[in-house]
Structure 1
Amino acid sequence: MSGSGGTDGPGRLAGLKDSVTDGLYGLGWATVKKLPEPVAKGLGRRIADVVWKRRGKSVLRLEANLARVVPDASPEALAALSRAGMRSYMRYWMESFRLPAWSRERAAGSFDPKDVHHLTDAIASGRGVVLALPHMGNWDLAGVWVTRGLGLPFTTVAERLKPESLFDRFVAYRESLGMEVLPHTGGSAFGALARRLRAGGLVCLVADRDLSASGVEVSFFGEPARMPAGPAILAQQTGALLLPVTLWYDDTDVMRGQVHAPIDVPESGTRAEKTSVMTQALADVFAGGIADHPEDWHMLQRLWSADLEQRQEDRTA
């Protein structure tokens, strides 16, 4: 009996939370896509405003991150920016829940990126391409535009989510949109991505937050942070072109974007030195796009090294 109270109780609570989380996402995919579009948009804004007013951990973290992006913002301006950020974030979710029901024409017409020739010219030449994006706008919509609008299949990597059923749901969702999805953990993703690139394929990676212990330290808005080494290493090892991409919303129903000029592999230096230079260049492009459209950067987690170290101190105190 004592064993049941000491371990099964917390385990049951965790299991219940996982089941509720999975159920809510499932409800979103099942119901939101059936709503008339104006209703779905209005629902997203109302949910965003309610969450923002509650000032929970995610909203406070978003605001703290945005304070680094816009350091001169007054408290009132920062609060308005975080509210706009939550509305942008919920627009992402409302669109994502509805994407499986969109026609090819609707998907192709819902994203208008600049300088796509950087991507299409490389693919046409038979060269592999790594597209690296921050958590901006709707990266799923951009992916659908690539698969359905350009007719280009691509491979991506997904973070392992809890519960496992939720991760499976996300994988199935993205595969239904024409993406090949590999799990971030397990050790085989890097090799598979390298094979796709050597064959002239396309790889898309969200690359502004390190999920491993091997991230590269960069200066991001003037402070140390760690970002994934993968995009730079893949470009070095396979000869693929590394292209940063930034995304944002405006006042229309069309998402905007920019395919930036390629980040070249330095001619000299060790692999670690080249990786550091390339990842810093990637961080600089991301910072420029985020500074231009801070409300569309959906970073609701700790990112900067100082914040991660503070969390570790809090846990050990």
Structure 2
Amino acid sequence: MTELPHSKFSLKLTLINSLLWLIARLSFMTARRWGAFFGRLSYYLNSRSVKVSAKNIALCLPELSSKQQKKLLKQSCIHSGMVFFESCWVWQASNQDVAKLIVSVTGQEYLDKAIAKGKGVILTGPHLGNWEALLAWGGMNLKASCMYRRPKITELDPLIQQARSKSGVELIIGERSSVRQMLTTLKQGECFLLLSDQNPAANAGVFAPFFHHPAYTMVLIQRLIAKTKSELLFFHAERVENGFKVHIKPANFSTADQSTEQFAELLNQQLAQQIKSCPEQFEWSYRRFRPVPEGYSHVYLDL
């Protein structure tokens, strides 16, 4: 296991290293089961993140009864716990062991066809299933870069950067100054991986419907396509019994001749379709509807 720098020693750092040490010594399926246990525990403790998840589920899936929403909330908490423990395991495992977790890839033909055109390929999706396993798969099977956002827990930054890089994927920090590097990657006919269901930086997005509610949505993908003529595909890694199943689909809308707002709305629509395929595996705890456009009430004020 990779130790974090001793210069950043703290109680938090000690706890993180101890947890990683323990998880590294478990089998993958045991780590997954422990994740499910702690996820179920978080549901009963009703933490703030659980309350955010409940709010988002009620907003996005009002067609579900209160009983169905509560059931989905509990399942979501369990899967969130599994994401954390699985990811800690993936970060420390060998590429060979991680590769064994990918039990199948559906839609490989769309990726092969896009790569054969000799243009860049953008693969995007939501925080659905396990994105750490997904990025590892991308790094091991594609000449690829991925957008990287530094974690809120700063002590995890060097570990995550090293862990993701070991698969072969090049990390590009998600900052405006890095756009040129993204363009170079795509113009060379390589793949660029990013998850597009989080709020972009100020002045880097537009408001567009996401599950029929206005969400600040990135415009980066449209700008990259406009400058490089890259192909757009959607992907995610669904959690299945013995590992993960990677799903790849083409964009179900034209990426050309769209206004910025139209493109953002169509992007969000396809992200929502992916999420609906296995909603219990989506990370509902993210405050997707913050900020809000002028004239709208703040969604999370009562939490």
Question: TM-score, normalising length from structure 1?
Answer: 0.82
Deviation string for 1:234-284 (max 9, x for gaps)? 11111111112244324x1232343122353324x6xxx2x3322222111
What is the deviation of 1:204?
A: 0.4
The 8 Å contact of residues 197 and 217 in structure 2, kept in 1 or not, is answered as yes
1:84, 1:313 → 2: CA distance?
Answer: 22
Aligned residues: 290
Q: Which residue of 1 aligns with 2:122?
A: 130
1:79, 1:299 → 2: CA distance?
Answer: 13
* Residues 1:293 and 1:223: Cα distance change in structure 2 (over 3 Å): same
The 8 Å contact of residues 246 and 257 in structure 1, kept in 2 or not, is answered as yes
* Residues 1:40 and 1:282: Cα distance change in structure 2 (over 3 Å): same
* Residues 1:22 and 1:66: Cα distance change in structure 2 (over 3 Å): farther
Q: Is residue 200 of structure 2 the alignment partner of residue 211 of structure 1? A: yes
The 8 Å contact of residues 246 and 286 in structure 1, kept in 2 or not, is answered as no
Tell me which amino acid in the other structure corresponds to 2:206. Answer: V
Q: Which residue of 1 aligns with 2:137?
A: 145
2:187, 2:288 → 1: CA distance?
Answer: 32
What is the deviation of 1:107?
A: 1.4
Q: Which residue of 1 aligns with 2:48?
A: 57
Q: Which aligned pairs between 1:105-254 and structure 2 lie closer than 5 A?
A: 106-148=98-140, 150=141, 152-185=142-175, 187-213=176-202, 214-250=204-240, 252-254=241-243
Q: Is residue 285 of structure 2 the alignment partner of residue 300 of structure 1? A: yes
Deviation string for 1:132-188 (max 9, x for gaps)? 11010111111222232x2x1311122233453322222121112222112223x32
* Residues 1:312 and 1:167: Cα distance change in structure 2 (over 3 Å): farther
Tell me which amino acid in the other structure corresponds to 2:53. Answer: L
TM-align CA RMSD: 2.7
2:39, 2:154 → 1: CA distance?
Answer: 26
Tell me the percent identity: 21
Q: Which residue of 1 aligns with 2:5?
A: none
2:59, 2:186 → 1: CA distance?
Answer: 35
1:199, 1:142 → 2: CA distance?
Answer: 22
What is the deviation of 1:28?
A: 3.2
Q: Which residue of 2 aligns with 1:41?
A: 32
1:290, 1:314 → 2: CA distance?
Answer: 25
Q: Is residue 255 of structure 2 the alignment partner of residue 265 of structure 1? A: yes
2:159, 2:189 → 1: CA distance?
Answer: 29
Q: Which has the larger radius of gyration?
A: 1
1:21, 1:92 → 2: CA distance?
Answer: 20
Unaligned runs of 5+ in 1: 1-17
The 8 Å contact of residues 35 and 83 in structure 2, kept in 1 or not, is answered as no
